[in-house]
Amino acid sequence: MKKHLIAAAVAGAFVAPAFAQNVTVYGTLDVSVQQVDVSTSGSSVTKQNGDDPMGTSVLGLKGSEDLGGGMKASFDLQGELNADDGTGTGTSSSFVFQRQSWLAVSGGFGQIKLGRTGTLVDQNYGTAAGGFNYFLPSSSARQASGKLAGTTEYTSPELIKGLKVQLQNINSQTTTVANSGNGIAVLYAAGPWNVGYAKSNLNGSSATDIETTVVRATYNAGFAAFTVSKLSNKETNPSTTDTGSTDFGATVPLGNGMTAVLNYQQFKDDRSTTTDFKQWGAALRKDLSKRTSVYAAAKSQNIDGASSTDTDSFAIGIQHSF
């Protein structure tokens, strides 16, 4: 009997490390039917959309391994897809891990991450009220944003209660969009408050250097959570463009798995008043389970200027996470 116990213990010493690694397949599928009405042209389009409006449809693989001594290795591979037809969003509708592809080591010193991930503005802009991508400003309003390769990122441990700092360097070694840059973020989360500041600088291939800054704050009052964010873009080389947006949002739990979302956004473009707009939005989400929700959302965008194209849109959909 003792020999059997010793043999089992020896075998366990070799097998146990294999179980120290945790790997998870995860994803989100979001499919909706949307109607878009353009008032100035009188056109109306109804279509099925497999990516947004509540959240991006993704498929990913992530994992971590305990290295001992308080250290951990982790990775994340994530790609975007169109849930309505199964295609990816890469070249020729292929599926690639273009949203996240990084490896990190963390410990008492914080976390060091290498690979492809979002700029600090992208990460810390804060999703619109209720998590609805439907209400986010367009990518043109968040210029130093997106998922970029060649990123080195450091996230500090808590410096004081609730306070962390992030630093980022980008060298994507590409001649498109941006091939180098840097960023800094200061984040605070404690009690009902979640506040953040982030700035990203990107050097473009066409001698256009962009600096994007975002300040956001969320306060959870219990009966509702209120969010405000201010985003600004500056072309620093040449210095010709200043744009920015201001967002206000409220998320109100109604009970029985129901949540109401309200959003207001104002966008300003110094280049042309015909691109300035104001947008109002509202949504209602019903959680059928911890992983599945149905929703309805509507927004109205009023664009300034004589050549404006005012747009009203409505969407109903379902989202499932796994």
Q: What is the mean pLDDT of the chain?
A: 83
The tokens 């929703």 sit on which residue?
Answer: 295
How sure is the predictor about 169, in pLDDT bands with cuts at 50, 70 and 90? very high
SS3 sequence of 194-206: EEEEEEEEEECCC
pLDDT in tens, 83-106: 888 888 877 788 899 999 999 999
Q: What does the buried/exposed string (b/e) look like for 296-307 if buried means 16 or more CB atoms within 10 Å of the residue's CB?
A: ebbbbbebbeee
This prediction has a pTM of 0.84
User: 300-320 pLDDT, tens per residue?
Assistant: 988 776 455 788 889 999 999
Report the alpha-carbon distance of residue 52 to residue 315 in Å, rounded: 10
Contact in structure between 244 and 268 (CB atoms under 8 Å): yes
Paired strand residues for 214: 198, 231
pLDDT band of residue 250 (cuts 50, 70, 90) is: very high
| Side-chain-side CA neighbours of residue 192 (13 Å) | 9
Which comes out higher in pLDDT, residue 131 or 197?
197
Q: Please determine, for residue 231, whether its predicted confidence score (pLDDT) is greater than 90.
A: no
So what's the pLDDT on residue 21? 78
Transcribe 105-120 into DSSP letters: EEETTEEEEEEEEE-H
Sketch out the chain's domains with CATH numbers.
40-321 (2.40.160.10)
203, 214, 305 from 41: Cα distances, Å: 38, 34, 15
The predicted structure's pLDDT at residue 102? 98
Residue 281 has pLDDT above 70, yes or no: yes
Residue 34's φ and ψ, nearest 5 degrees, are: -120, 145
